[in-house]
């Protein structure tokens, strides 16, 4: 049995399923016993903690009743109760590692030992594992009890200390670019924590943002003087002097821009690694594109690990994410952009190293090198990234660039490879591995294999979504998790600490892509969510087009950004006449349906969708009775999802005329395909909402 207190109070049975402790009073008793897990708590103290100065009429009897109910809730079949009576009180018997707060303390202690031994990578890994145990405020949802307030405050302080320690470890590993933005919000929330502010200022300086670092120090100095009447401590003051002096000792021992060792094995990407490695042998610029969460960065890191050994000057990684503002539209000046600045910080190149400025200094530095540059998350700075890469590739013949982006850089000679979702078997293997990490002992069995397969399919086999889902297995189990995926954006939150904010929730992953779209791309993407089971170009133009713009251009760009998938028909003749079919991944469709409703366009789009597919069905009703019958049957087969959705939507909206017209038009199609039960049911539903009596199975006018 395990007890989770670093968030909503949760009890897990030995098989990992949540145990129900429904009564608030019993949960409060459990929480107090957990603050002293393994030690007896006197009955007098329990009464005082639970009721304060207003005990019940019979406090001893009421306490005994609660203890009895807690024993029933926690006792598993064939096992002894973990709640024991002692001569003066009660004790909750737990294994040393059964409470997540205890495991958190163990991991942070091991992390500090690793740091003292000089192993910053192990220190960071242990701290990430410790912080991943947190799922909210400690003892959330239990109540405001003195013992819990004290325990929660102590745990919150320990968590902040671990966050500070992780920041220091990551600085030593060269992760200052991501940290410089992540720590800004945290320092604002805890403005007087000098250790946290020191990590933020050092990260800013290492990222080439000296002015912001100095301004941050001055802001803290003024605040300390005004609120506490003190100056910054000696460590922070020394850091300030070192920043002013550009002290080289501030730089990490691990080279800036170097790659940290992955903390987990890459699952299911062996063929992809081989393919991208071959592309890098033949091209100096390879860009990995794909949807958010598909694993572009992780794949690029694995490829860089493989091919970097063949580069005499190794590999440098520069992350362009981390909350940098997108550049204004228009011409890009390559003489001084955010990409060049980050490259300079990663390579130790300063603007004053060359009279020609930073870009010229970068050219000079890279010209003699044979280096692989991994340029990650280019989409947010696509213009400056493309311009800078073009300049550097021209100046440095030994330079090879591996970029990740939601869209290609668009440069001559660029090889673009779209990272696909995992294969179903690989997705299930990844989910099982990550669920096993979060819930030791988890395994895919005959009892849960179908639920695991459903989770993987419905999450579009995207690695990040699967990892977020796997972290929920500990609290929900796979069957409840699969049943709740309709609410995936509220369910899949709380990604591992140390990830960029855009990767910590499923919604944030899609938000990141959405925010990068132009207005016409957003309009088309949200409108495409009205379709079911894909669409063709004619459908997109008929339903989604308007007088303000055309459909083809935005649709092509959405395909380039992997937010829409274009699938060519398997039959060559069909491909020549019908063209590709477009689909939205289920997660993107769920997100854009919300956006469609927010835009107030849902009713209009549903009406246009119904009109388009009714017209198609009416043309098909004539077509299936003529020489083109085979072709029309196949076309109606392809659109059966949209036809069904249009009909069900009309019935749901009580649009009797629309529902009846579409159902009548589909009569011959259902008859020729032998779908008579569906025909009778659908015609009956349409007649019911149209206000006409059902005809006892008789064919409607125009039907077979």
Find tokens 């032998």 and name the residue: 674
Q: Are 463 and 294 in contact (CB under 8 A)?
A: yes
Phi, psi of 284 (to 5 degrees): -85, -15
Find tokens 């072709």 and name the residue: 631
Burial of 57 (0-12, 13-18, 19+ CB in 10 A): exposed
DSSP 413: T
- Tokens representing 8 are 């909503």
Q: In this predicted structure, what is the pLDDT of residue 494?
A: 61
Phi, psi of 101 (to 5 degrees): -65, -35
pTM of the prediction? 0.56
DSSP 292: T
Find tokens 């009797």 and name the residue: 656
What are the mean pLDDT values of the chain's consecutive 10-residue runs (704 residues total)?
83 77 80 79 81 80 83 77 80 80 87 81 87 86 79 88 89 77 82 86 80 85 85 84 76 50 69 92 93 86 83 80 39 52 75 78 88 87 90 92 91 92 90 85 89 92 88 88 87 61 72 85 93 91 80 90 81 60 89 91 94 96 92 92 94 93 95 92 92 49 48
Phi, psi of 81 (to 5 degrees): -70, 140
d(CA 526, CA 602): 10
Which whole-number Å values give the CA distances from 508 to 313, 364, 421, 495, 591, in the listed order?
36, 39, 18, 10, 11
Q: Are 40 and 30 in contact (CB under 8 A)?
A: no
DSSP notation for 473-529:
HHHHHHHHHHHTGGGHHHHS--PPTTS-GGGSSHHHHHHHHHHTS-HHHHHHHHHHT
List the beta bridge partners of residue 318: 375
Cα distance from N-terminal residue to C-terminal residue, the chain: 64
d(CA 622, CA 600): 36
Q: In this predicted structure, what is the pLDDT of residue 529?
A: 93
Residue 277 C-alpha from the chain's centroid: 27
CA angle 542, 543, 544 (to 5 degrees): 105
d(CA 12, CA 5): 11
Q: Are 398 and 370 in contact (CB under 8 A)?
A: yes
Task: Choose among 455, 516, 512: nearest CA to 486.
Answer: 455
d(CA 253, CA 259): 13
d(CA 342, CA 232): 30
d(CA 531, CA 543): 9
- Tokens representing 317 are 């990684």
Neighbours of 347 (CB within 10 A): 20
Find tokens 């493989």 and name the residue: 306
Task: Choose among 321, 285, 299, 316: nearest CA to 179.
Answer: 321
Q: 19: left (phi > 0), else alpha (psi -120 to 50), else beta?
A: beta
d(CA 593, CA 589): 6
Task: Choose among 619, 684, 689, 625: nearest CA to 657.
Answer: 689
Q: Are 296 and 289 in contact (CB under 8 A)?
A: yes
Q: In this predicted structure, what is the pLDDT of residue 262?
A: 53
Those residues with Cβ within 8 angstroms of residue 155's Cβ, 6 or more apart along the chain or in another chain:
5, 6, 101, 104, 138
Length of the chain: 704
State whether residue 386 is helix, strand or coil.
helix
- Tokens representing 487 are 């609410």
Phi, psi of 165 (to 5 degrees): -65, -40
d(CA 208, CA 432): 41
DSSP notation for 575-618:
HHHH--EEE--HHHHHHHHHHHHHTT-HHHHHHHHHHHHHHHHH
Those residues with Cβ within 8 angstroms of residue 78's Cβ, 6 or more apart along the chain or in another chain:
none
Q: Are 379 and 372 in contact (CB under 8 A)?
A: no
**What counts of helices (H) and strands (E) characterise the chain?**
32, 13
d(CA 527, CA 609): 10
Q: In this predicted structure, what is the pLDDT of residue 44?
A: 81
Q: Are 466 and 431 in contact (CB under 8 A)?
A: yes
Q: Are 636 and 645 in contact (CB under 8 A)?
A: no
């Amino acid at each position: 049995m395990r007890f989770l207190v670093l968030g909503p109070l949760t009890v897990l049975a030995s098989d990992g399923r949540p145990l129900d402790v429904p009564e608030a009073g019993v949960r409060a008793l459990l929480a107090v016993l957990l603050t002293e897990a393994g030690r007896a708590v006197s009955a007098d103290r329990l009464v005082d903690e639970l009721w304060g100065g207003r005990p019940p009429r019979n406090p001893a009897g009421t306490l005994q009743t609660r203890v009895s109910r807690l024993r029933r809730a926690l006792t598993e079949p064939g096992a002894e109760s973990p709640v024991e009576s002692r001569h003066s009180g009660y004790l909750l018997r737990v294994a040393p590692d059964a409470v997540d707060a205890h495991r958190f303390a163990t991991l942070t202690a091991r992390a500090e030992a690793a740091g003292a031994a000089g192993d910053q990578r192990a220190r960071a890994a242990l701290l990430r594992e410790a912080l991943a145990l947190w799922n909210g405020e400690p003892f959330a949802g239990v109540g405001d009890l003195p013992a819990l307030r004290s325990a929660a405050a102590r745990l919150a302080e320990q968590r902040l200390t671990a966050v500070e320690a992780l920041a220091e470890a990551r600085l030593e590993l060269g992760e200052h670019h991501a940290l410089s933005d992540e720590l800004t919000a945290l320092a604002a929330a805890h403005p007087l924590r000098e250790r946290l502010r020191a990590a933020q200022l050092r990260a800013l300086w290492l990222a080439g943002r000296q002015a912001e670092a100095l301004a941050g120090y001055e802001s803290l100095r003024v605040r300390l003087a005004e609120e506490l009447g003190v100056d910054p401590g000696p460590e922070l003051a020394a850091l300030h002097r070192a920043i002013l002096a550009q002290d080289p000792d501030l730089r990490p021992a691990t080279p800036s821009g170097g790659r940290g060792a992955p903390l987990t094995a890459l699952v299911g990407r062996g063929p992809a690694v081989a393919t991208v490695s071959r592309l890098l042998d033949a091209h100096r610029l390879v860009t990995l594109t794909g949807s958010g969460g598909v694993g572009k960065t992780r794949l690029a890191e694995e490829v860089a690990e493989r091919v970097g050994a063949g580069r005499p000057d190794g590999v440098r990684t520069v992350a362009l994410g981390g909350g940098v503002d997108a550049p204004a539209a228009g011409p890009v000046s390559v003489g001084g952009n955010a990409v060049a600045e980050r490259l300079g910080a990663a390579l130790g190149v300063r603007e004053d190293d060359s009279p020609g400025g930073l870009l010229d200094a970068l050219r000079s530095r890279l010209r003699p090198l044979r280096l692989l540059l991994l340029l990650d998350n280019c989409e947010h700075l696509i213009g400056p990234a493309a311009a800078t890469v073009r300049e550097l590739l021209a100046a440095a013949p030994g330079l090879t660039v591996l970029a990740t982006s939601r869209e290609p850089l668009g440069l001559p000679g660029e090889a673009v490879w779209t990272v696909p979702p995992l294969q179903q078997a690989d997705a299930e293997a990844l989910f099982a591995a990550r669920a096993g990490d979060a819930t030791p002992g988890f395994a895919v069995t005959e009892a849960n294999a179908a639920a695991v397969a459903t989770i993987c399919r419905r999450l579009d086999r995207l690695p990040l979504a699967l990892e977020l889902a796997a972290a929920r297995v500990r609290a929900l189990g796979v069957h409840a998790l699969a049943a709740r995926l309709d609410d995936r954006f509220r369910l899949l939150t709380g990604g591992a600490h140390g990830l960029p904010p855009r990767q910590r929730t499923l919604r944030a992953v899609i938000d990141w892509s959405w925010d990068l779209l132009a207005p016409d791309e957003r309009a088309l993407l949200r409108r495409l969510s009205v379709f079911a089971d894909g669409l063709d170009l004619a459908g997109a133009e008929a339903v989604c087009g308007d007088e303000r713009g055309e459909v083809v251009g935005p649709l092509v760009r959405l395909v380039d950004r992997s937010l829409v998938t274009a699938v060519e028909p398997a039959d060559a003749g069909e491909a020549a006449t019908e063209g590709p079919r477009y689909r939205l991944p289920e997660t993107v469709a769920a997100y854009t349906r919300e956006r469609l409703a927010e835009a107030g366009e849902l009713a209009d789009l549903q009406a246009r969708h119904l009109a388009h597919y009714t017209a198609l069905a009416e043309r098909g009703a004539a077509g299936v009775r003529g020489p083109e019958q085979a072709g029309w049957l196949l076309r109606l087969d392809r659109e059966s999802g949209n036809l069904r959705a249009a009909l069900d939507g009309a019935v749901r909206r009580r649009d009797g005329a629309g529902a009846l017209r579409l159902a009548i038009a589909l009569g011959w199609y259902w008859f020729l395909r032998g779908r008579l039960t569906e025909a009778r049911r659908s015609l009956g539903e349409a007649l019911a909402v149209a206000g006409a009596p059902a005809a006892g199975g008789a064919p409607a006018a125009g039907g077979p």
